[in-house]
Amino acid sequence: MRKSRNKEGKLPSEIAGSNSDDEVKERSQTESSQTERDETDDNEVNKKEKPNKGDEERILYLPLYRAALAGDWKTVRRILKDDPDALTAQITAHHETLLQIAIISRSHSIQFVEELLNRMPPESLAITDKLGCTALSFSAVFGNTEAAKLLVEKNPELTQMRTARKNTPLHLAAQYGHKETVRYLLDVTQDKEPSPFSEESGVRMLDMVISADFYGEVHKK
């Protein structure tokens, strides 16, 4: 899968979890780095004689995590049949859900995401990772406009949710240079308090869209 980068060529710092280049590299959300991190997690867990509860849960969900990355719906469906709670569980060390992992993996079609959404109540789409990123945040950072449309259709309030760094999905799409996603989110993001288009939030938005050469898109709004 192609790495999603902003205009400066940096990997997504919102989902990476730090402004530090080293930490960004450690948590690069790409298919290859997810697999590498997965294997690293295995090694770290195996070094411990007595895994804690978090490690045990990660071991439990490794097959689900790998199946999501590979687009193996048959395996995912079997696991969910045996463990329905896994559908909304935070299955990685960074508290990402099955849906979030599916959105950033391009090894399968959008139907995989649709299958998950058909099984999830609207409120569950607002589950966040450690950094306050929802599934729509992930869609924005990686420019997955198809997934964004499905998410907003089921839960329109996702457009107004902010990460730990106070960014809406629209901010993130602009920051990482996804013009199609920006266009879509501009149409569905609501100008209501706290509005992403006013005060400090609006200034940051303007800075992001100018940096990404999207000013004309926002000006039309």
- Dihedral of CA atoms 29, 32, 36, 41 in degrees, nearest 10, equals 50
User: 159 lies in a domain?
Assistant: yes
User: 47 lies in a domain?
Assistant: yes
User: 170 lies in a domain?
Assistant: yes
CB 148 within 8 A of CB 184: yes
Tell me how many degrees the CA angle 191-196-200 measures, rounded to the nearest 5.
Answer: 130
Instruction: Please give the pLDDT value at position 38.
Output: 45
Is the confidence at residue 18, as pLDDT, over 50?
Answer: no
User: 5 lies in a domain?
Assistant: no
User: 114 lies in a domain?
Assistant: yes
Total count of domains within the chain? 1
Is the confidence at residue 138, as pLDDT, over 70?
Answer: yes
Measured in residues, the chain has a length of 221
Phi first, then psi: give them for residue 28, nearest 5 degrees: -70, 125
Instruction: Please give the pLDDT value at position 198.
Output: 58
Question: Per-residue pLDDT averaged across 103-119, rounded?
Answer: 88
User: 154 lies in a domain?
Assistant: yes
User: 131 lies in a domain?
Assistant: yes
Q: 4: which residues sit within 8 A by CB, 6+ positions away?
A: 11, 12, 29, 30, 141, 142, 143, 176, 178
Domain containing residue 113: CATH number: 1.25.40.20
Q: What is the residue range of 108's domain?
A: 13-220
Q: Which of 33, 167, 45 is nearest to 96 (CA)?
A: 33
Instruction: Please give the pLDDT value at position 184.
Output: 94
What pLDDT digit, counting tens, does each position of 194-216 carry?
666 555 655 566 666 655 565 55
Is the confidence at residue 26, as pLDDT, over 70?
Answer: no
The C-alpha atoms of residue 75 and residue 68 are separated, in whole angstroms, by 9
Count CA within 13 A, CB hemisphere, residue 185. 36
What pLDDT digit, counting tens, does each position of 53-92 carry?
555 556 579 999 999 998 899 999 999 999 999 999 999 9
Instruction: Please give the pLDDT value at position 210.
Output: 57
Instruction: Please give the pLDDT value at position 193.
Output: 72
Which tops the pLDDT comparison, 162 or 198?
Answer: 162
pTM tops 0.75, yes or no: no
Chain mean position to CA 44 = 25
User: 149 lies in a domain?
Assistant: yes
